[in-house]
């Protein structure tokens, strides 16, 4: 089952497209990281998935074919927006009571136990909690609804490192123990590398990369060699991004580890942060399925396919 499917999805605000020609399918059971610069369309995509906005073009379905915003979808998706969306004048206990009354399903014992384990007083007003405590309260309210899909929009942006770590640990536990699928938008790539196993990279309102992180890392390499030879060999390699200084050049390419290299070149593996930054710097480079040479031919012919792994 796919927890989210989009086909040529687009959202326009006035004359500006916030999201355009977005096609992807996210399988259930993953922590999917949604990465991109400001204005890339991340929040727009999350709002469409949660039923908080309607498409201007294309189609979107959640939870195996449900319409976002439908009763089934609302019951199965929990959304934690940036800023946690808590009522500051209500206590933690009041927030539990309010959320329980507004939802068909709410695990009150789980919520109370979890807040107790975190040392969050039930009688304290939300406005008097620390930033980390507010984030954990919002996450507890979401998880106590026992969702099938947890959607998180920049939940750790304002948190200190320890609070970020604790928040992400809870998200990972929910995935492993309760089978919750997660779609998480964040700029903190180091945190995403620790918890995410699926990547969607948006740039300028379009999907640049979508796939399992292990698969993407296995099909990309960093090649280092003489800068003078880049022009000679670049047509043979599916180059995503090039950087250099002096006599040496570093190329991030779509290639398998076993692909042969000239004697003067070396190859190494790539990390998630390095991969994401390369595609953000080169928004016209879409990751391609299959052998790198097939992708190179497609790019040379002017095609810009999007990858669904």
Count other C-beta atoms under 10 Å from residue 8's C-beta: 12
| Angstrom distance (rounded) from CA 8 to CA 48 | 13
Residue (of 54, 302, 27, 33) closest to 179 by Cα position? 27
pLDDT at 309 over 70: no
For 107-141, write each residue's pLDDT tens digit.
999 999 999 999 999 999 999 998 889 989 999 99
| Angstrom distance (rounded) from CA 284 to CA 295 | 13
Residue with tokens 């390095």: 274
The answer to whether residues 19 and 45 touch, using CB atoms and an 8 Å cutoff, is yes
pLDDT value for 83: 66
For 214-226, write each residue's pLDDT tens digit.
999 999 999 999 9
The answer to whether residues 213 and 189 touch, using CB atoms and an 8 Å cutoff, is no
Radius of gyration for the alpha carbons in the chain, expressed in angstroms and rounded: 21
Q: 3-state DSSP helix/strand/coil percent for the chain, to nearest 5?
A: 35, 30, 35
| SS3 letters across 65-80 | CECCCCHHHHHHEEEE
pLDDT value for 285: 58
For 246-257, write each residue's pLDDT tens digit.
789 999 998 766
Domain residues of the chain, as ranges?
A: 2-213, 219-300
Q: Domain 2-213: what homologous superfamily?
A: P-loop containing nucleotide triphosphate hydrolases (3.40.50.300)
Q: What pTM was estimated for this model as a whole? A: 0.83
pLDDT at 100 over 90: yes
Least confident of 60-64, 133-137, 170-174, 214-218: 170-174
- Percent residues over pLDDT 90 in the chain: 51
Contacts of residue 157, defined as CB under 8 A and 6 or more positions apart, other chains included, come to 82, 186, 187, 188
CB-side neighbour CA atoms (13 Å) of 26: 33
pLDDT value for 279: 87
Contacts of residue 38, defined as CB under 8 A and 6 or more positions apart, other chains included, come to none
């Amino acid at each position: 089952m796919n927890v989210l499917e989009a086909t040529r999805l687009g959202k326009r605000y006035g004359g500006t497209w916030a999201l355009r020609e977005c096609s992807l399918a996210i399988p259930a059971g993953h922590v999917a990281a949604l990465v991109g610069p400001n204005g890339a369309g991340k929040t727009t995509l999350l709002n469409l998935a949660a039923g908080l906005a309607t498409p201007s073009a294309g189609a979107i379905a959640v939870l195996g074919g449900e319409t976002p915003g439908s009763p089934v979808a609302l019951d199965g998706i929990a959304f934690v927006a940036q800023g946690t969306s808590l009522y500051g004048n209500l206590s933690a206990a009041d927030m539990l009571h309010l959320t329980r009354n507004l939802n068909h399903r709410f695990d009150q014992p789980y919520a109370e136990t979890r807040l107790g384990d975190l040392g969050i007083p039930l009688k304290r007003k939300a406005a008097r909690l620390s930033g980390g405590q507010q984030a954990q309260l919002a996450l507890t309210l979401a998880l106590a609804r026992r969702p099938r899909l947890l959607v998180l929009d920049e939940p750790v942006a304002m948190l200190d490192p320890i609070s970020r770590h604790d928040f992400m640990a809870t998200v990972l536990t929910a995935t492993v123990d309760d089978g919750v699928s997660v779609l998480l938008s964040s700029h903190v790539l180091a945190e995403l590398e620790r918890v995410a196993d699926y990547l969607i990279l948006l740039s300028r309102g379009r999907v640049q990369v979508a796939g399992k992180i292990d698969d993407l890392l296995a099909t990309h390499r960093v090649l280092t060699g003489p800068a003078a030879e880049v022009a000679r060999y670049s047509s043979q390699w599916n180059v995503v991004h090039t950087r250099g200084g002096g006599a040496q050049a570093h190329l991030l390419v779509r290639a398998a580890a076993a692909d042969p290299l000239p004697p003067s070149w070396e190859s190494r593996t790539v990390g998630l942060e390095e991969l994401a930054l390369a595609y953000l710097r080169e928004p016209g480079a879409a990751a391609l399925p299959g052998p790198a040479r097939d992708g190179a031919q497609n790019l040379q012919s002017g095609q810009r396919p999007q990858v669904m792994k």
